[in-house]
Structure 1
Amino acid sequence: MSMQQPVPKMRSVKGISINEDSGQRPLMVDGCATLSALFRLRAEETPDAVAHREKHLGIWKEFTWGDYYTHARWIGLGLRSLGMQRGDVVQILSEDRKEWLYIDQGVQCMGGISSGVYTTDSASQLGYILSDSRCRFLVVENEEQLDKFLEIPDGAPGVEKVIILEDEGLHALSGERFLFLDALYDLGRSFEAANPGLFEAEIDCNRPEDVALLIYTSGTTGPPKGAMLTHENIIHAIHGGLCNLAVKPGAEQLCFLPLCHIFERDNSAYFPLAARSIVNFAESTETVFDNLREVSPQTFSAVPRVWEKIYSRVLILAQEATWTGRKAFDLAMKAGMLRADLQASGKAPNPLQRLAIGAADLLVFRNLRQLLGLDRLQQGISGAAPISPALIKWYRAIGVPVYEGYGMTENAANCTVNRPGAEKHGSVGQAMPGVDLRIAEDGEIQTKALANFKGYLNLPEKTAETFTADGWLRTGDIGRIDEQGYLYITGRLKDIIITAGGKNITPAEIESRLKFSHYISDAVIIGDRRKYLTALIMIDQENVEKYAQTHKVFYSDFASLTRTAEVQALIRAEVEAVNKEFARVEQIKDFRLIDVLLTAEDDELTATMKLKRSFVEKKHKALIDQMY
Structure 2
Amino acid sequence: MVNSCLSRLVRQQAEKYGDKVALKYRDYTTATWIPVTWNGFADLVDKTARAFVKLGVEVQENVGVFSQNKPECLYVDFGAFKDRIVTVPLYATSSEAQVHYIVEDAGIRFLFVGEQYQYDVAYRVQGLCRSLKKIIIFDPEVKRAEGDNNSIYFSDFLQMGEKEECQPEVDKRVSESSLDDLANILYTSGTTGDSKGVMLHHSNYDVAFKGHNARLTNLGENDVVMNFLPFTHIFERAWSYYCLYKGCMLCINLRPQDIQKTIKEVRPTAMCSVPRFWEKVYAGVQEKINETTGLKKSLMLDALRVGREHNITYLMNGKTPPSLLHMKYKFYEKTIYSLLKKTIGIENGNFFPTAGAAIPEKVAEFVHSVGINMIAGYGLTESTATVSCEWIGDFRLGAVGRVLDGVEVRIGENNEIQLRGGTITKGYYKKEAITQQAFTEDGWFRTGDAGYMKDGFLYLTDRIKDLFKTSNGKYIAPQAIETKLVVDRYIDQVTIIADQRKFVSALIVPEYSQVEKFAQEHHIAFGSRKELLENPQIIELFRLRIDTLQQEFAHYEQVKRFTLLPEPFSMERGELTNTLKLKRAVVARNYKDIIDKMYEENVG
Shorter-chain TM-score: which interval? over 0.9
The answer to whether residue 584 in structure 2 is matched with residue 613 in structure 1 is yes
| 8 Å contact from structure 1 (residues 247, 271) kept in 2 | no
- 1:425 — aligned with what? 397
Q: Contact 2:468–2:500 (CA<8 Å) still a contact in 1?
A: yes
Q: Secondary structure at the match of 1:326?
A: helix
Deviation at 1:174, TM superposition (A): 5.3
- Which whole-Å CA distance do the structure 2 matches of 1:309 and 1:599 have between them? 19
Q: 1:323 to 1:151 in 2, by over 3 A?
A: farther
Letter in structure 1 aligned against 2:330: G
Equivalent position of 1:353 in the other structure: 325
Mapped partners of 2:525, 2:74: distance in 1: 48
Q: What percentage of residue pairs aligned between the two structures are identical?
A: 31
Give the drift of 1:189: 1.1
1:489 paired with 2:447, answer: no
Counterpart CA distance in 2 for 1:561 and 1:78 is 58
CA shift, 1:555, in A, is: 3.9
User: How many residues were matched structurally?
Assistant: 595
Q: 1:258 aligns to what?
A: 230
Q: Give the 3 Å change call, closer, same or farther, for CA 541–88 of structure 1 in structure 2.
A: farther
CA contact (8 A) 2:532 2:538 kept: yes
Alpha-carbon distance, 1:572 to partner: 1.3
Pairwise CA distance, 1:544: 3.3
Matches within 5 A, 1:12-411: 33-56=4-27, 57-152=30-125, 154-170=127-143, 175-190=148-163, 193-245=164-216, 246-268=218-240, 270-321=241-292, 324-339=295-310, 340-411=312-383
Which is further off, 180-189 or 600-609? 600-609
In structure 2, distance between residues paired with 1:403 and 1:107: 31
- In 2, the alpha carbon distance for the partners of 1:170 and 1:506 equals 48
CA spacing shift, 1:244–1:539, aligned 2, 3 Å: farther
What residue is the counterpart of 1:625 in the other structure? Answer: 596
The answer as to whether partners of 2:50 and 2:166 remain within 8 angstroms in 1 is no
> 1:435 aligned to 407, 425, 430, which one?
407
Contact 1:50 1:63 in 2 (8 A): yes
Conserved in 2, the CA contact under 8 Å of 1:93 and 1:116?
A: yes
Classify 1:65/1:551 alpha carbon distance in 2 versus 1 (closer, same or farther; 3 Å): farther
Summarize deviations over 1:549-569 as a string: whole Å, max 9, x none.
Answer: 444444455444433333322
In structure 1, stretches of 5+ residues that fail to align are: 1-24, 27-31
Shift of 1:153: 8.2
AA at the equivalent of 1:430? R
Residues 610-619 or 408-417, more deviating: 610-619
Aligned to 2:550: 579
How much has 1:508 moved relative to structure 2?
2.1
Partner of 1:603: 574
Q: 1:161 to 1:454 in 2, by over 3 A?
A: same
| Deviation readout 1:466-520 (Å, 9 max, x if unpaired) | 11111111000011112x2211111011111222332223222221111121222
For 2:471, which of 485, 497, 500 is the aligned residue? 500
Q: Which amino acid aligns with 1:165?
A: F
8 Å contact kept, 1:34–1:206? no
Quote how far apart the aligned CAs of 1:172 are: 7.7
> Is the Cα–Cα contact under 8 Å of residues 59 and 84 in structure 2 kept in the other structure?
yes
1:169/1:229 Cα in 2 relative to 1: closer, same or farther (>3 Å)?
Answer: closer
Residue 276 of structure 1 aligns to a residue whose secondary structure is: coil
TM-score (norm. length: structure 1): 0.90
Q: Secondary structure at the match of 1:387?
A: coil
Tell me the equivalent position of 1:29. none
1-side partners of 2:559 and 2:395: how far apart?
Answer: 31
CA distance in 2: counterparts of 1:410 and 1:570, whole angstroms: 42
Deviation at 1:181, TM superposition (A): 0.8
- For residues 441 and 228 of structure 1, the distance between their equivalents in structure 2, rounded to whole angstroms, comes to 26
Tell me if structure 1 keeps the 8 A contact 2:187–2:195. yes
Give the 3-state SS of the residue equivalent to 2:272 in structure 1: strand
Paired AA for residue 250 in structure 2: V
Seen in structure 2, the aligned counterparts of structure 1 residues 173 and 141 have a Cα distance that, compared at 3 Å, is farther
Corresponding residue SS for 2:347 = coil
- Give the residue type in structure 2 aligned to 1:256: F
Compared with structure 1, are the counterparts of its residues 549 and 314 closer, same or farther at alpha carbon in structure 2 (3 Å cutoff)? farther
- 1:48 counterpart letter in structure 2: D
In the superposition, relative to structure 1, how do residues 106 and 581 fare at CA in structure 2: closer, same or farther (>3 Å)?
Answer: same
- Which residue of 1 is the match for residue 431 of structure 2? 459
Q: Give the match's secondary structure for 1:487.
A: strand
Q: Distance in 1 between matches of 2:254 and 2:95?
A: 23
Task: Write the mapping of 1:562-577 to structure 2, written as runs, cut at 5 A.
Answer: 562-577=533-548
Query: C-alpha displacement at 1:288, in angstroms?
Result: 0.5
Partner Cα distance (1:119, 1:107) in 2: 20
Look up the equivalent residue of 1:389 and give its one-letter code.
Answer: E
Amino acid at match of 2:448: G
Which secondary structure state, in structure 2, belongs to the residue aligned with residue 167 of structure 1?
Answer: coil
Task: State whether residues 211 and 230 of structure 1, in contact with CA within 8 Å, keep that contact through their aligned partners in structure 2.
Answer: yes
Match of 1:464, as an amino acid? Q
Change (3 A) 1:323 1:333: same
2:132 partner SS: coil
CA RMSD, 1 decimal: 2.1
SS in 2 for 1:152: helix
**Contact 1:120-1:601 within 8 A present in 2 as well:** no
Cα–Cα, structure 1 residues 512 and 274, in superposed 2: closer, same or farther, change >3 Å?
Answer: same
Helix, strand or coil at the partner of 1:156? coil
Alignment deviations for residues 416-474 of structure 1 (CA, whole Å, 9 cap, x no partner): 11112322111111110011100112211000010111211121111111111111110
Query: Structure 1 residues 194, 180: closer, same or farther in 2, change over 3 A?
Result: same
The alpha-carbon distance between structure 1 residues 566 and 325, as it changes in their structure 2 partners (threshold 3 A), is farther
Partner of 2:602: none
Counterpart amino acid of residue 462 in structure 1: I
Q: 2:561 aligns with which of 590, 612, 615?
A: 590
Residues 364-402 of structure 1 deviation map (CA, whole Å, 9 limit, x = unaligned): 221111111121212111111111122110111222121
1:120–1:199: structure 2 CA closer, same or farther, 3 Å change rule?
Answer: same
CA pair 314-174 structure 1, distance change in 2 beyond 3 A: farther
Q: For residues 114-152 of structure 1, give each alpha carbon's deviation from its aligned partner in whole angstroms, at most 9, with x where no partner exists.
A: 111111111121111111111000111122221112333
CA distance in 2, matches of 1:556, 1:71: 56
Residue aligning to 1:509: 480
Which position in structure 2 is the counterpart of 1:20?
none
- Runs of at least 5 residues in structure 2 that lack an aligned partner in the other structure: 600-604
Q: Distance in 1 between matches of 2:70 and 2:319?
A: 44
